[in-house]
Structure 1
């Protein structure tokens, strides 16, 4: 087991990474929480695989456990599901000294975190991410949110967990598509990280099976990088915005795809396309787009979409929550390891993104 610590202004917690940690969840949680009532939130894909194990672990460690299972998929990140969970917790007499455990991928983590952060103005929260995307990115850093209307992550909070337990063994139950989906976030971070050993690790990955072989190293490198960013800028007023690399375009097409694109697949497309835009303008070094695209394609990730640069695409961009006044901030890299931010006026958005 490896431990990565995040020491923030108002919070200090660990991300634990190691094979087999799921079977030790009760003892690991008992080490930081006194016995209490716990809601384990999972989804219809993950619950049949791991819910019984985690529940048994917690009960054996003295916790009272209530469980809830939501349908797998982005649609579960809704205010209606949030309200249902509030009601369940009230029915089960949860108090401010109780807690929520997220067992699943990014959707479950976002929803559980938002519920924990807002129920009785905030109760204990622990992340047990089971997807690569959640283990390398969404479980760390304290962003919680649900979707609203046509906007992704429109209603949310910054709320740090008390602990994150990442067990790479859970990745073996993912399909190659969803292993690759999480890897898109790893590539995004490696491209923006100044760690000289991170990108060479990416170049070892040529198949989805390679991702599993190097999973622990990929998770450790990603979490270490993200922890460094979050410690320096917890509330995304400065360098944490670099983590949005590929996401502005990616979020727009993800929403327009109505579930046909997984989050990481949309990020893969967004990352390559924003690189091509900035490379065409001479702001990204020649060859960077092809270098990143090659690594993403190697594991079967998409790098383009018919949804790009359509009228609805531009409409969606204008709804992006990262809009600031009359402009939208785009993250790009001048070269590997050197992320930058470029503001584009909304009125000039279409012309700016047109590369030919």
Structure 2
């Protein structure tokens, strides 16, 4: 089987994906800098499970050019999946330089290493945030995305442009994935599901932005992983129907593709909170607040391209997905015994 290098392997999606790739028989190596953007202990626990499952792991920062080149030279991966990035819209308002360092400089290192090692395909994480000020729904990969609302979103759009350049110049096959509000077991503490669950259990109020008038296309992590697993086997090729007279942003005459990965079913924020309350068996106190800078009120993914290519579309029910997360949370933090709560 092929060797796959996953960056951000101790992260939420990266740990789930690495475990799945191992199950499918791939050789997997991982890179993660274990930074303190959120609880390092959670990252180490994810990583520990992967190490037990034979993932060779490197503690390194993708913005360190020398380290990246050395790892690629040593591992000689067939496929690279870049999930390492500085995440978070609101954090980008406070620490903009962190996003340039990781998402721009780091991604440049990944592209260069892929080029020199002649990898078969680079799959990389983009974000639904690139749709920015767009209001036409559902968001389509054929839409113009020239109006991002945060630096985080701008860096993700930049990643797509950079990837296309390398696909064009060096025929490096690249696949960009616009993730829509991923959630599930082992999720990030800075995300709403984790924060709301923790606060409700501790009898603290939860901050509900835009006075609750928000919709999110919540996407369960297993659906993200299934999509990536299928795309690993589908190296992009030049689109014979692509035309510079009417260019489709999601494809190219280079080996380049962009896909949305979302549930294609937006959920109202208040319904999402209700799903959490249903599983916990208690109501949360709401602190209603205005829309925050950089946020968008609604996300909604058109996933027809993904379905046509892979035969798969995300479809996990929000209550089922929330239940799985809370089962994990209660077990991991020993609030309530849950079987196999530490299994990715």
Same fold (TM over 0.5): no
Using CA pairs under 8 Å that are at least 6 residues apart, name the structure with larger relative contact order, 1 or 2. Answer: 2
TM-score if structure 1 supplies the norm length?
0.28
